[in-house]
Amino acid sequence: MNVRLFLVTLIVPLFTAIAVQGAVEPKSAPREKGVVDFTGAAEWFQKGLELNRAGDYREAAEAFRKVIAITPGDAAAWFNLGTASAFLGNYEEAATSLKQTVRLNPEFLPAYGNLGAICYRLGRFREAIEAYGQVLRLKPDDTNARFNRGMAYYAMGDKDSAWKEYEMLKPLDGELAAKLLEAITR
């Protein structure tokens, strides 16, 4: 089995928006002459979602950076920056952004799942295991997190822990458990 197949939940498409074309400049209502036009965090956030939806991850990441510059405590903006960065292959930036997401909101389940996948991709298996553990803390029956944590244990060479994950996964999702078993018994 291709180890990359384990990334069942690499990126969780949490938000949807209508795709738009053009540069990253949110449209605002015309202002009177001499009035300064400040584009707020909400407009940049919406633009980032639209750009993400359109597949323009570079511009989406820039929009989310602008949101963060305005409201640095916005966990959703950090999450979306991490997602866009991952799609761009900027895994270090993605990991940093996703870590900030969970610092700001320790209950942000999709951020932990994505962080686990990114850390796995970076070969930081211990961090991946910790992230998937947080998913399981929040949602104990999350079969993808259990599978992915088993794969991370296996990648670290900890076959005993991988086997334990298999045993816990088997009654929840036999098909996914079989894939984990296949990987850890090769």
pLDDT for 120-146, tens place per residue?
999 999 999 999 999 999 999 999 999
Q: Which two tokens stand for residue 69?
A: 């510059």
Residue at 19 is within a domain? no
- What is each CA distance from 93 to 82, 160, 167, 172, in whole angstroms? 7, 32, 34, 34
Residue at 169 is within a domain? yes
- Considering its fold, how many domains does the chain have in total? 2
Contact between 47 and 19 (Cβ < 8 Å)? no
- Rounded to the nearest integer, the mean pLDDT of the chain is 85
Q: Which two tokens stand for residue 182?
A: 């296949």
The mean pLDDT value for 114-125 works out to 98
Q: Which of the listed residues 105, 137, 157 is the one where a domain comes to its end? A: 105
The model's confidence at residue 39, banded by pLDDT at 50, 70 and 90, is confident
Is residue 101 scored above 50 in pLDDT? yes
Residue at 92 is within a domain? yes
Domain that holds residue 67: 41-105
Is the same domain home to 131 and 183?
yes
Q: Taking the chain, what is the end-to-end CA distance rounded to the nearest angstrom?
A: 9
Q: Which pTM value belongs to this model? A: 0.80
Residue at 8 is within a domain? no
Q: Among 4-8, 84-88, 102-106, which stretch is predicted with the lowest mean pLDDT?
A: 4-8
Among residues 89, 88, 109, which one has the least CA distance to residue 98? 109
Residue at 115 is within a domain? no
